[in-house]
Chains A and B, each alone.
Chain A
Amino acid sequence: MVWTRKDLLGLEDLSKEELELILATADSFKEVSSREIKKVPALRGKTVVNLFYEPSTRTRVSFEIAAKRLSADVINIATETSSVQKGETLIDTGTNIQALKADIIVMRHNYSGAAAMLARHLNISVVNAGDGWHEHPTQALLDIFTLKEKLGRIDGLKVSIIGDIAHSRVARSNIWGLTKLGAEVTVCAPPMLIPPAIEQMGVVVTHGIDEALQHADAVNVLRMQFERDTEGAFPRQLEYFKSFGITQERLSKAKKDIIVMHPGPLNRGVEISSEVADGINSVILEQVTNGIAVRMAVLFLVSQGHDKKYETTN
């Protein structure tokens, strides 16, 4: 299996073999972070630009650490303090970064499809760090990597995703990745937060939390993004916790060794209780650690990809 893509835009386009290559490469990179000198020279002399149009701490820091452990130079651009405020378009920003001879842009943007559009206009690599409600491929990859590490396989696993499925790029990327690798995915949320025709993605829909937990090998608890509720579709926090919150009591009816994941940041007492978040079934902090290995693998692979649409002019 040879990696040919210069960009990582989402998991929807990837083949099963490409997903497996990323996971295997990440497994090799994990050891680097356990060394005393946590650095390898694979991206020495390359420049990675983090271009974030939405606030993010953990994803940006994780990408920055990953790039630095590969010996790349990292520049962070927060758009609140950049010329974006003066009206520069996304493509102009991208071509300028390319003209500065950067090699990889890691971008978070509030519009779905923004990363794909930028990638079409540039010869340098683009890694999607979240675009609108569309995809967040590296988050799903680190979720899947953690699951595989814990349970030894993905094929045949029953995974339930709980929470705001409608507005969640994490859910969408997880569904694409997990179903391609053979997992059975159930999504669970109040009816208002389930997008229409989600069944066409190959998932089972339920509105009952106990049903979603009953046979699951793992549960991925999404953060309730109350700041995104512009349509009044969200229940009140306490009401949500009562009906859908993951508590020790609900977990006691599930498989004893069920894996509990959460992409962070946690709303304790809203989608998950503190007892569960800090409990023995939780792998939330391991996800954070694995995120570095997964992002190292992605940065390394796209730097090797050469399906460039245009001949490099820079």
Chain B
Amino acid sequence: MKEKAKILDKEALGRSLLRIAHEILEKNKGTESLCLVGIRNRGAYLAQRIAACILKIDNASVPVGILDITLYRDDLTLIAAQPVVRKTEIGFDITDKNIVLVDDVLYSGRTIRAALDALIDLGRPQTIQLAVLIDRGHRELPVRADYVGKNIPTSLQEIVEVRLAEVDGVDEVVIVDKE
């Protein structure tokens, strides 16, 4: 694995999230019935950070939940990597809410497909929107994001790694080569 380029550093990552927070507030005209749901693992931390930005901007705290999509994956029966089932923690009723799903990287779109199924099993939201830090292209399903930190055209031989202080000890996004 060879590191090729750093796409975002700590400051740029923070600015991207702050902009996404502004855009969420603009599009939803405030925080009424707004909720954030982060997809495990790193999406959960990004959702917390966006909520912190919203608190700073609008002085309003929005509920944040965590979604584990393992049980909804479409590759569960493929033998390769066995996923660990973790907890879904959504401590509020999502019915009639405006939900912003948060994930780190948008790629094939399959994670988001699974997340939509998982969310809809929990209730009937008014809207579901999607925020991602990185959109790297190569979609396999008709999925698009409403809020994007940065678009990065990539090749299939590359991996986009989002590293966050909470799990990786550092805030940065890098491209590495598969080898």
Is the pair A31, B88 in contact by a Cβ cutoff of 8 Å?
Answer: yes
Question: Main SS of the interface on chain B?
Answer: loop
Q: Using a CB–CB distance below 8 Å, which chain A residues touch chain B?
A: 2-3, 21, 24-25, 27-29, 31, 35-37, 39-42, 70, 297, 300, 304, 306
Could you say which residues of chain A place their CB within 8 Å of the CB of B4?
none
**B121 in complex: contacting residue of A28, A40, A306, CB < 8 Å:** A40
Say whether B123 faces chain A, with CB atoms less than 8 Å apart. Answer: yes
Could you say which residues of chain B place their CB within 8 Å of the CB of A36?
122-123
Within 8 A of A (CB), among B23-60: none
CB nearest neighbor in A for B118: A40
Say whether B6 faces chain A, with CB atoms less than 8 Å apart. Answer: no
CB nearest neighbor in A for B95: A36
CB nearest neighbor in B for A24: B84
Is the pair A25, B85 in contact by a Cβ cutoff of 8 Å?
Answer: yes
Selected interface stretch from B71-79, B134-142, B149-157, B159-167: B71-79
Complex Cα–Cα for A24 and B84 (A): 9
Say whether B86 faces chain A, with CB atoms less than 8 Å apart. Answer: yes
Take A25-B85, A41-B72 as given contacts and tell me if A35 and B122 are in contact as well, using a CB distance cutoff of 8 Å: yes
Closest beta carbon of chain B to A268's beta carbon, Å: 36
Is the pair A300, B122 in contact by a Cβ cutoff of 8 Å?
Answer: no
Is the pair B71, A40 in contact by a Cβ cutoff of 8 Å?
Answer: yes
Complex Cα–Cα for A184 and B82 (A): 33
Complex Cα–Cα for A3 and B72 (A): 19
Complex Cα–Cα for A2 and B79 (A): 12
Closest beta carbon of chain B to A132's beta carbon, Å: 32
Closest beta carbon of chain A to B58's beta carbon, Å: 30
Is the pair B71, A27 in contact by a Cβ cutoff of 8 Å?
Answer: no
Within 8 A of A (CB), among B69-125: 70-72, 76, 79, 82, 84-89, 117-118, 121-123
CB nearest neighbor in A for B72: A41
- Which residue of B70, B82, B118 has the most chain A CB atoms within 10 A of its CB atom? B82
Closest beta carbon of chain A to B170's beta carbon, Å: 26
Complex Cα–Cα for A84 and B84 (A): 39
Complex Cα–Cα for A25 and B123 (A): 24
CB nearest neighbor in B for A3: B82
Closest beta carbon of chain B to A287's beta carbon, Å: 20
Q: Return 5 A-B CB contacts under 8 Å, by A number.
A: A28-B86, A31-B89, A42-B76, A304-B76, A304-B82
Closest beta carbon of chain A to B129's beta carbon, Å: 22
Is the pair A41, B117 in contact by a Cβ cutoff of 8 Å?
Answer: yes
Is the pair B82, A42 in contact by a Cβ cutoff of 8 Å?
Answer: no
Say whether B172 faces chain A, with CB atoms less than 8 Å apart. Answer: no
Closest beta carbon of chain A to B69's beta carbon, Å: 10
- With A27-B87, A42-B76, A297-B85 known, 20 other A-B pairs at CB within 8 A are A3-B82, A21-B84, A24-B84, A25-B84, A28-B68, A28-B85, A28-B87, A31-B87, A35-B122, A36-B122, A36-B123, A37-B121, A40-B71, A40-B118, A40-B121, A41-B71, A42-B70, A42-B72, A70-B71, A304-B76
Is the pair B85, A29 in contact by a Cβ cutoff of 8 Å?
Answer: yes
Could you say which residues of chain A place their CB within 8 Å of the CB of B89?
31
Is the pair B82, A2 in contact by a Cβ cutoff of 8 Å?
Answer: yes
Complex Cα–Cα for A29 and B84 (A): 12
Is the pair A35, B87 in contact by a Cβ cutoff of 8 Å?
Answer: no
Could you say which residues of chain A place their CB within 8 Å of the CB of B76?
42, 304
Complex Cα–Cα for A29 and B71 (A): 10
Complex Cα–Cα for A37 and B122 (A): 7
- Which residue of A28, A37, A39 has the most chain B CB atoms within 10 A of its CB atom? A28
Complex Cα–Cα for A297 and B79 (A): 18
Is the pair A42, B71 in contact by a Cβ cutoff of 8 Å?
Answer: yes
Complex Cα–Cα for A39 and B120 (A): 12
Complex Cα–Cα for A296 and B134 (A): 35
